[in-house]
Structure 1
Amino acid sequence: MSQPTASVGRTVHYVSHGTPVRSDGSQAFPPACRAATVTEVDQEDPGRVGLVVLNPTGQFFHPLAAGGSVYADEAGMLAGSWHWPERV
């Protein structure tokens, strides 16, 4: 599935931002794929969605009103973006 058009209720992956890089170049938590559910879809740009992201430490709400999340394919893996789950 490479189409960026999602619908409410679909499960996607969200790429977290991770923690800031320390002065020694390390990160406590590097960017990672997290499970997310689409909560809303931008009618003018269906590749931009609102999400609820499921993190090990709790839920994170990323609504369209706060900017939402944009589609990036699995090769892009841009922090703050979403993509379809990889097939395993």
Structure 2
Amino acid sequence: MPQTPTVGRIVHYVSYGTPGGEYTSQCRAAIVAGVPVGALPLADGEHAEEWSSDTVVCDLAVLNPSGMFFNRCPQSEGEHRGGTWHWPERTPSTNEETPA
């Protein structure tokens, strides 16, 4: 069952990086600040042509080392393109005992 974004959830935002490659695209922590209501063309007509109608779009508060910014971003679970968000990857549990 797919996760549903709700206000207050933590997600990963993917930064764009710089065109010259001085800074690479990186995952940054972000908080879902809002989930637009309605279909994408109604929620964000400006991006209706570049995002498909089933794209999940969230308003994010992105936490960067140099400050915060706020942006409406589409979800990208597979490609993790710059300017998109995705659910944090799961890591294996480390509850096993460490040998002495």
Class of the TM-score when normalised by the shorter of the 2 chains = 0.7 to 0.9
The size of the alignment, in residue pairs, is 76
Partner residue of 1:72?
Answer: 76
Distance in 2 (CA, whole Å) between partners of 1:44 and 1:32 is 30
Q: Give me the identity figure in percent.
A: 46
Please tell me whether residue 34 in structure 1 is matched to residue 34 in structure 2. Answer: no
Distance in 2 (CA, whole Å) between partners of 1:2 and 1:53 is 23
Please tell me whether residue 17 in structure 1 is matched to residue 11 in structure 2. Answer: no
Runs in 1 of length 4+ with deviation above 4 angstroms? none
Shift of 1:20: 1.8
Shift of 1:78: 0.9
**Equivalent runs, 1:53-72 vs 2, <5 Å:** 53-62=62-71, 68-72=72-76
Shift of 1:2: 4.2
Kept in 2, the 8 Å contact 1:16–1:33? The answer is yes
TM-score by length of 2: 0.69
Partner residue of 2:48?
Answer: none
Pairwise CA RMSD of aligned residues?
1.6
Distance in 1 (CA, whole Å) between partners of 2:23 and 2:65 is 12
Structure 2's unaligned 5+ residue stretches are 40-54, 92-100
Please tell me whether residue 83 in structure 1 is matched to residue 82 in structure 2. Answer: no
Distance in 2 (CA, whole Å) between partners of 1:2 and 1:36 is 19
Partner residue of 1:7?
Answer: 6
Distance in 1 (CA, whole Å) between partners of 2:2 and 2:22 is 32
Kept in 2, the 8 Å contact 1:2–1:84? The answer is no
